[in-house]
Amino acid sequence: MLTTSDFKRGIVIQLDGAPCLIIDVTFQSPSARGANTMVKTRYRNLITGQVLDKTFRSGDKVDEADFERHKGQFLYADGGRGVFMDLETYEQFEQDEDDFAANSPYLLEGTEVVLGLFEGRMVTVELPMTVELTVTDTAPVIKNATATAETKEALLETGLKIKVPPYLETGNKVKVDTRDGRFISRA
């Protein structure tokens, strides 16, 4: 059991039978005397992906979710689903088509990820902050191009399209931010 004083960003609590990741916590005292402090939380339901807000009273108790994070690896795509392996137990898990579609542009076979397991079932896949991917198609190099605000579109080996500086060419490896799909640097 956790109380509201244990709340902080990144912990996983159980609400309505689902694991919920706390994204933000704010403690508010409604009066100068400090009576009945309110704890406002923003959390993500890890099953549905929905982001919700909920207010607790100071001292309220909630269950800690049976949630574990394990090192994992992306094995392969099977149709529209992704197959992952827990690197500790070698157990394999499948990610459904909707969730995998959001992750697939950043995944190559062998990419290490963090698997979120709830009651022994995979519910989340955390990608690394950056991945290195090869440019498979882009416009030709522009002569005397430097790193300016000018960009061109590039197609990467996973099918992801991003904007890159004009000096990059087909075959270059680039670092991509997995949070927003943005070019970071040449790898």
**Residue span of the structural domain in which 108 resides:** 67-126
Last residue of a domain, one of 126, 144, 166: 126
Residue ending a domain, choose from 126, 154, 175: 126
Please tell me whether residues 76 and 60 are part of one structural domain.
no
Q: CATH number, domain at 26?
A: 2.30.30.30
Same domain, 117 and 81: yes
pLDDT of residue 150: 82
Q: What is the DSSP string of 130-174?
A: EEEEEEEEEPPPPTT--SSS--EEEEETTS-EEEE-TT--TT-EE
Task: Please state, for a pLDDT cut of 90, what percent of the chain lies above it.
Answer: 65
- What digits encode the pLDDT tens for the residues 36-54? 788 999 999 998 889 999 9
What SS3 state is found at 181? coil
Q: Would you say residue 126 has pLDDT above 70?
A: yes
Spatial distance between the Cα atoms of 20 and 26, rounded to a whole number of angstroms: 16
Are the C-beta atoms of residues 85 and 94 closer than 8 Å to each other?
no
Pair (60, 72) in one structural domain:
no
The lowest-confidence range among 27-36, 107-116, 157-166 is 27-36
- How many structural domains compose the chain? 3
Percent of the chain with pLDDT over 70: 93
Beta-bridge partners for 59: none
Model-level pTM? 0.81
Q: Give 61's strand partners.
A: 3
